Amino acid sequence: MAQTIIEKFHERVSSHPAKVAFRYKANGDWRDITWRTYGDTVKRVAKALMSLGFTHGDKISLLSNNRAEWHITDVAAMSIGGATAAIYATNSPEQVAYIVSHSESKVAFVDVPEQLEKILKMRAELPALQKVVVFEGYQGDADSDFVMTWDDFLRSGDGIDDAKFDEATAKVKPEDLATFVYTSGTTGPPKGVMLTHGNIWFTCNSSNAHIPIPEGEEARALSYLPLSHIAERMLSHIYQIYYGGTTWFAESIDTLQADLQACKPTYFFGVPRVWEKFYAGVTAKMAAADPNDKKTKLAKKAVELGKQVTQAEQEAVARGGKASDAKIPLAVKVQHAALDKLVLHKIRAAFGLEECNLPLSAAAPLAPELIWFFHSVGIKITEGYGQSEDNGPTTWNPPDAVKIGTVGTPFPGLEVKIAEDGEILVRGDNVMKGYYKDEKATQETIDADGWLHSGDVGELDEHNYLKITDRKKDLIITAGGKNIAPQELENRLKSSHPLISQVVVIGDKRPFLTALVTLDEEKAPGWGQEQGIEGGISEIANHERTIKEIEGAINQLNQGLAKVEGVKKFRVLERDFLQEEDEITPTMKVKRKKINEIYADTIEDMYDKASAQGAGAKAPLRK
């Protein structure tokens, strides 16, 4: 039996070569790549690498958007004992150079000439880099000794005997390094998380026991989040090999809805921002519908019955059982079944999730209100938790026993405990080998007993479900000594009003809490028109009606909080946080330290005007 994902890959190629491995769009049509072609191309890429002197223990960098060549190149490198350093396509030339240099990559692969330019700009700082291979669009106008087209690269390995490839593949062992995952750098330069083949294989087996995905051709995933992110890489790449399903490639994040409707994934991973946008879209449509229309009334009735069913399921899980143990009144069950086929199925189909039996969310907290809604319409989101340092998952809600408001129970084979200071600790075979070339950081993260210190604060309930309360470093300790978890306040405020996109609560060592609020740039223009506000996002953010609207949402939030926990002042910013400005990570996590630096004057202004009554009365000009 297979002991690495590489061995599993070759089993898949051998067992069902004619089945479809990938689907991608070209000239408006969806096109197929079979497992046979996948396997043949992996071998050609591996042999081409070998022709360049690439050997066991060497590294490559991958700077590309999601596409079949990404998967192929990654598997090829791993097949001959190499390791991949994945780079976000949105990274700057300096950020790209840091990872290529730090990982000591011999070969870099890029998808288009625009990405090649980033490397060429920083070439003087990359003495170890021998070649750059461009997947498409390269016209051969750079140094031919340094840059190759994809086709020329493939041909370069045709003289290598297949036996050498087989020999190299047979040498790959579970303890070998498989990949780097570079952290998003919310607190400084990214660190290279080292994951072994053993880490990956343990995660696959443990995941299969905890949140199994149907095996075979019927398993479909849509790849749209960056493959540099551990969750996307595991779900649409590694698990695809493990389960033998089909990965579809979205054209872009802008076409996500249409791509979902085409793919109809059987499992789908969405970061909270994606689910939030889905929720905002459907609730806006329901709010705009004629309340007296029969279809509107029927839809509301269907969602209400879905909530009653969800409530019964939650009560069953709270007792330590499963959702299937729910005690649902017969009348509710019959009505719900009828309206599910008539109404709720159409709502799921509008998202492209009518065949999705495993909707997943992680990377950041998802507001319970949103999970309740999606469960009510039959999209049973299972929320989980983990980090790159343990190959993605630590805990996950079992699909048949989701407890809303938690991130589930530990994966089989993992130990999870809460330290005296509330920090979540995890130990098991998916915990990383360490940070590359950073023994100090490794020892700070993994203690002498093998416990990974997550940096997150949480608690386990009586049924071993984990609840995340905050990041250890993000906890706010006010000047009065009160410990406050900002993420909980931020998520509640974000979910309270469709106009709000992002919230950052501030207050560490301060006398009271304040907040920076950004507007949803898709919803704000329409709302502004309804309110008679002329102009774009900047004018809307500065308008007194907008300030009043956000103030109302904050006042409502404060009503359910102790006085010291309430937000006393706020500012509405003139645009949303941007990755290009280094304000959020590629997975849309807020970089608190950076935002505190960028908006230092705005923050100080809120505290300097402490004598002002109520919440902030004016939005500042955008810095």
Residue type, 606: M
Report d(CA 89, CA 79) in Å as an integer.
24
Q: What is the pLDDT of residues 378-436, one digit of tens each?
A: 999 999 999 999 999 999 999 999 999 999 999 999 999 999 999 999 999 999 999 99
Looking at the structure of the chain, the number of domains it has is 3
* pLDDT computed for residue 128 by the predictor: 96
- Which domain CATH number covers 580? 3.30.300.30
Residue of higher predicted confidence among 141 and 187: 141
pLDDT tier at 210, thresholds 50, 70, 90: very high
pLDDT at 620 over 50: no
pLDDT for 621 equals 32
Whether 90 and 224 share a structural domain: yes
- Total-model pTM: 0.83
Distance CA 450, CA 432 (A): 10
Q: For position 487, what pLDDT does the model report?
A: 82
Q: What is the mean pLDDT of the chain?
A: 92
* C-alpha of 96 from chain center: 20
Reply yes or no on whether the pLDDT at 622 is more than 70: no
pLDDT exceeds cutoff 80 at 349: yes
pLDDT of residue 477: 75
- Establish if 437 belongs to a structural domain: no
CA distances from residue 529 to 475, 539, 541, 576 in whole angstroms, order as listed: 38, 11, 13, 19
Both 274 and 228 in a single domain? no
Give the pLDDT of residue 367. 84
Burial 328-339 (b: 16+ CB within 10 A, else e): beeeeeebbeeb
User: Residue 336: inside a domain, yes or no?
Assistant: yes
Q: Are 543 and 597 in contact (CB under 8 A)?
A: no
Looking at the structure, tell me whether residues 371 and 509 fall in a common domain.
no
- Domain identity same for 245 and 310: no
Band (618; pLDDT cuts 50, 70, 90): very low
pLDDT in tens, 302-339: 999 999 999 999 999 999 999 999 999 999 999 999 99
Residue 123 has pLDDT above 50, yes or no: yes
The pLDDT score that the predictor gives to residue 469 is 84
Q: Has residue 459 been placed in a domain?
A: no
Name 133's Cβ contacts closer than 8 Å, sequence gap at least 6. Answer: 107, 108, 109, 110, 147, 148, 149, 150, 153
**364 in the same domain as 225:** no
Closest to 372 measured CA to CA, from 298, 464, 309, 465: 309
* 16-23: long-range pairs with CB below 8 Å, 24+: 16/217, 16/244, 19/217, 19/244, 19/246, 20/217, 20/246, 21/240, 21/246, 21/247, 22/68, 22/71, 22/246, 22/247, 22/248, 22/249, 23/246, 23/247, 23/248, 23/249, 23/263
pLDDT at residue 184 in the model: 65
227 and 292 share one domain: no
**74-83, 483-492, 511-520: the lowest-pLDDT one:** 483-492
Q: Where are the alpha helices (DSSP H) in 359-420?
A: 368-376
pLDDT of residue 272: 85
Residue-wise pLDDT tens digits, 555-583: 999 987 778 889 999 999 999 999 888 88
pLDDT number for residue 187: 52
**Looking at residue 387, what is its pLDDT?**
93
Q: Are residues 225 and 310 in the same domain?
A: no
Judge if 243 and 124 occupy the same domain: yes
What digits encode the pLDDT tens for the residues 461-483?
999 999 998 777 777 877 766 77
Residue 455 lies in a domain: no
Per the model's pLDDT, the better-predicted residue between 564 and 17 turns out to be 17
Structural domain including 526 reads 476-608
Residue 490 sits in the same domain as residue 601: yes
The single-letter DSSP state of residue 238 is I
In this predicted structure, what is the pLDDT of residue 611? 41
Query: 515 and 546: one domain?
Result: yes
Per-residue pLDDT averaged across 172-197, rounded? 88
User: How far is residue 203 CA from its own chain's centroid?
Assistant: 17
Residue 446 resides in a domain: no
Lowest mean pLDDT across 12-16, 40-44, 462-466, 616-620:
616-620
DSSP 3-state assignment of 194?
strand
Residues 367 and 234 in one domain: no
pLDDT for 284: 84
106 shares its domain with 32: yes
Alpha-carbon gap, residue 363 to 223, rounded angstroms: 16
Which CATH number covers residue 226?
3.40.50.12780
**What is the 8-class DSSP label of residue 390?**
G
pLDDT for 614 beyond 60: no
Question: Hey, which residues does 503 pair with through a beta bridge?
Answer: 517
- Distance from the Cα of residue 341 to its chain's centroid: 31
Cβ proximity of 147 and 134 under 8 Å: yes
Last residue of a domain, one of 357, 380, 403: 380
- Residue 41 pLDDT greater than 60, yes or no: yes
Which alpha helices (DSSP H) does 112-161 contain, by range?
113-121, 150-156
Residue of 209, 203, 208 lying closest to 179 (CA atoms) = 203
For residues 21-25, average pLDDT: 97
Give 474-479 contacts, CB < 8 A, sequence gap 24+: 474/592, 476/505, 476/506, 476/507, 476/508, 476/513, 477/508, 477/509, 478/507, 478/508, 478/509, 478/510, 478/511, 478/512, 478/513, 478/564, 479/509, 479/510, 479/511
Q: Which of 316, 348, 380 is the last residue of a domain?
A: 380
The model's confidence at residue 509, banded by pLDDT at 50, 70 and 90, is confident
Last residue of a domain, one of 346, 380, 414: 380
Q: Is the pLDDT of residue 616 over 70?
A: no
pLDDT given for residue 185 in this prediction: 55
Question: What pLDDT band is residue 216 in, cutting at 50, 70 and 90?
Answer: low
| Residue 82 resides in a domain | yes
pLDDT at 579: 83
Residue at 257 is within a domain? no
In a domain, residue 398? The reply is no
